[in-house]
């Protein structure tokens, strides 16, 4: 299947935050505990920044960590193409008590409904790989960003959790063995971003996981976009579980690796 079936992503995978939340729980098996939101918010500097746009905000978790960097002078616009995600973000941000004004808007990242040069910062984390055309998403980010502004982009490597996806691919070869980030993985971002920005600061964070029981892996596979989209019969999941259990019997634990790559991008 296509990695970027927009209708499926909007109407099923991201209709509510549930699938994303489930997938994130696999990171709880990390060998070294990490606050992924704090890591992603760490490079933000909002001094001289008034208008901030986040695209594909999801449930808005990032702002629990980033809120202490905001002041009353900023205006935050959180956007997503899923109303369910926007509702969750609205509820979460209400509990964070941000100091600045916040708007929630249903906007597609490939067709931003904002004037050129209208934002000082654009944040796009774990989202550009879902675009039908990452090039178009980057064109839009560049268009709405002021020339003095900055963009924070975070993506994942194409081999993220490869071990678990490969096993699914071996049972049904319509499931790609690579991560959903394939269209805008770390490797692709490295090649594309210099076409759009003159200065790029890159940081990577490798997350090694060790699972001691099958449940987090089985839940991850059930919630994974390229698996879930196929609406597979229960026989597929039973076979996956059987193979996972054999590997646990053989090895005691199962290991894999995830990763995050952060790019702070500037045009001046």
Ligand X SMILES: C[S@@+](CC[C@H](N)C(=O)[O-])C[C@H]1O[C@@H](n2cnc3c(N)ncnc32)[C@H](O)[C@@H]1O
Residues that bind ligand X (CB under 6 A): 9, 14, 20, 55-58, 61, 80-82, 85, 108-110, 125-127, 130-131
Minimum Å distance from CB 81 to ligand X?
4
Whole-angstrom distance, CA of residue 185 vs CA of residue 67: 28
The residue among 118 and 247 lying less far from ligand X, judged by its C-beta, is 118
The residue among 220 and 236 lying less far from ligand X, judged by its C-beta, is 220
Minimum Å distance from CB 247 to ligand X?
27
Backbone dihedral region of 180: left (phi > 0), alpha (psi from -120 to 50 degrees) or beta?
alpha
The residue among 176 and 254 lying less far from ligand X, judged by its C-beta, is 176
Q: Tell me which residue has its CB nearest to ligand X.
A: 58
How is the beta sheet containing 199-211 ordered, strand by strand?
101-106, 75-80, 51-54, 119-125, 145-155, 254-266, 199-211
Whole-angstrom distance, CA of residue 198 vs CA of residue 195: 8
Minimum Å distance from CB 118 to ligand X?
17
Backbone dihedral region of 231: left (phi > 0), alpha (psi from -120 to 50 degrees) or beta?
left
The residue among 216 and 254 lying less far from ligand X, judged by its C-beta, is 216
Radius of gyration of the chain (CA): 19
Minimum Å distance from CB 11 to ligand X?
10
């Amino acid at each position: 299947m296509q990695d970027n079936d927009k209708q499926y992503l909007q109407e099923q995978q991201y209709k509510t935050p549930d699938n994303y939340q489930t997938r994130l729980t696999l990171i709880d098996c990390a060998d070294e505990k990490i606050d992924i939101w704090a890591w992603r918010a760490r490079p933000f500097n909002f001094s001289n920044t008034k208008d901030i746009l986040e695209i594909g905000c999801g449930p808005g978790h990032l702002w629990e960590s980033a809120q202490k960097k905001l002041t009353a002078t900023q205006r935050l616009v959180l956007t997503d193409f899923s109303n369910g995600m926007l509702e969750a973000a609205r509820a979460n941000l209400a509990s964070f008590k941000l100091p600045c004004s916040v708007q929630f808007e249903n906007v597609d990242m490939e067709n931003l409904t904002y004037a050129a040069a209208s934002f000082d910062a654009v944040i796009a984390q774990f989202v550009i790989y879902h675009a039908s055309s990452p090039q178009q998403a980057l064109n839009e980010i560049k268009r709405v960003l002021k020339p003095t502004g900055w963009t924070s982009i975070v993506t994942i490597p194409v081999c993220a959790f490869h071990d678990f996806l490969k096993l699914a691919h071996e049972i049904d070869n319509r499931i790609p063995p690579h991560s959903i980030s394939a269209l805008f993985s770390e490797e692709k971002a490295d090649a594309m971003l210099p076409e759009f920005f003159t200065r790029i600061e890159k940081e990577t964070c490798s997350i090694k996981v060790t699972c001691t029981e099958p449940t987090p892996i089985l839940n991850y596979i059930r919630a994974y976009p390229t698996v879930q989209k196929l609406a597979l019969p229960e026989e597929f999941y039973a076979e996956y579980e059987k193979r996972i259990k054999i590997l646990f019997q053989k090895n005691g634990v199962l290991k894999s690796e995830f990763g995050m790559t952060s790019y702070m991008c500037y045009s001046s």
